[in-house]
Amino acid sequence: MHLTLQYTGFLSDDCDDTIVGLSKLSLDDVEPEITVLGIHDTSNRVATARDYVLRRCNQTDAILFDECYPDALLKNCHKIGEGVYGEVFLWRARDGRARVMKIVPIAGHTKVNGEDQKDYHEIISEIVIAMELSALRAPIADIERHFDEGNDTDALDLHAIGNATDVFNQVLAVRCVYGSYPSRLLDLWDLYDECKGSENDNPAILPVDQQYIVLELANAGQDLESYQFNNAEQAHALFLQVAFGLAVGEEAYQFEHRDLHWGNVLIAPTEQKFATFVLRGRRHCTPRCGVAATIIDYSLSRVSLPASAPARCAALYNDLADDDGLFDAVGDYQFEVYRLMKSKLGNDWKNFEPYTNILWLHYTVDKMITALRYKRTNTKIHKHYIDKLKGIKNRILDYKSATDFVLTDNEY
């Protein structure tokens, strides 16, 4: 008897060509219109990029910012980070769970941190990719429970699942809001600026009718740059989790991260002994060694998603062909990786080229050898795993993809 676990991403219930026509890659209009051909809804209907984003948020219209996030709700909150896109806060929601709140101003005319705001058709890719990758985690808990209870592999139909991982950040909610920035968040922004110094514009400069996308994400810990490991055994365990996660993404959605610098890998302590992955219908386990990896931020990422036509996929990506600033930066291997990606892709960012994931894995293992902080560097186990990481660094560029590496490398 086979136990079949069926899990689907959000697109399977409402899969259509909307994301193709509304995404940045194929549009010149600010607010384009498109005929939607859905699998479950065969009638033609007109949608805008804003309509599509609202549908992904389970909203019919934008909600007032301070009604969605009143000051009382943000009592247990503080700013934890920032980027050109906007601000990141950590808060405890009504359910008692700590959540990360990424706030992105959108569709406005005021420059934010020196950059034009993204329009709705430019934010679709990040929202869709985040939700689809998050959905890959759905089967993992049941699979682990199945084996913890002593059941064998034969009783579980992993081929029906295909690919699964909990390495990608869990999306808890996506909301579209508008209005004045909540006063509580402005106070927390000022506090962060006083204590750490902010490179961003104060959100108070934004108009009272400003629109925002808010992504609520699970709190996945510290980034790789700031985390201090016990020794290199933990770093090696983390590397394998990231590599297997990328491999699952490749197989499930032809995924390339394209920006996996050490600020986009998060680490949380865990007592779980093994990380579980399903890759091409087979279960793989890697040691946790006390650390759980999470991959975040898909603003430059690329996926292929099923379209309504049979045997057809839609590429969803950020076209970086004219982003000269990204490729001109110097000073860290990270910036060289951008140029190596551009060369490998021939500056055609629509194509699936999983070697870009190999480039970022090479970057990651290089950081683990040369730049990470370790508590116990004089132990035999630390030196042993530093040697293993060096071996991976020397070999990994010979592989074609993360999948190729994790399935065929015999020495990691």
Task: Report residue 323 CA to chain centroid gap.
Answer: 21
Q: Which residue among 51, 119, 166, 259 is the active-site one?
A: 259
- To which H or E segment does residue 266 belong? strand 265-269
- Which among 354, 344, 388 is positioned nearest to 369, based on CA atoms? 388
Contact between 353 and 256 (Cβ < 8 Å): yes
The secondary structure of 279-303 as a DSSP string is ETTEEEEEE-TTEEEEE---TT-BE
Q: Interhelix angle for 355-370 vs 333-345, to 10°?
A: 170
- Which among 266, 316, 357, 271 is positioned nearest to 9, based on CA atoms? 316
CA distance 72 to 356: 44
Q: Three-class SS of residue 179?
A: coil
Burial class for 325, CB neighbours closer than 10 Å (0-12, 13-18, 19+): exposed
- Which among 236, 247, 214, 241 is positioned nearest to 64, based on CA atoms? 214
2 CB neighbour count, 10 Å cutoff: 10
Residue 314 makes CB contacts below 8 A (sequence gap 6+) with: 17, 19, 20, 304, 305, 306, 307
Contact between 160 and 73 (Cβ < 8 Å): no
- Which among 74, 55, 69, 76 is positioned nearest to 10, based on CA atoms? 55
259 is an active site residue:
yes
Q: Three-class SS of residue 95?
A: coil
CA distance 247 to 279: 8
E strand residue ranges, 141-205? 171-178
Amino acid at position 408, single letter = T
Q: Three-class SS of residue 224?
A: coil
Fill in the DSSP letter of residue 182. Answer: P
Amino acid at position 412, single letter = Y
Structure tokens of 106?
Answer: 């959108």
- Which among 64, 66, 67, 29 is positioned nearest to 50, based on CA atoms? 29
Catalytic residue numbers, as ranges: 259
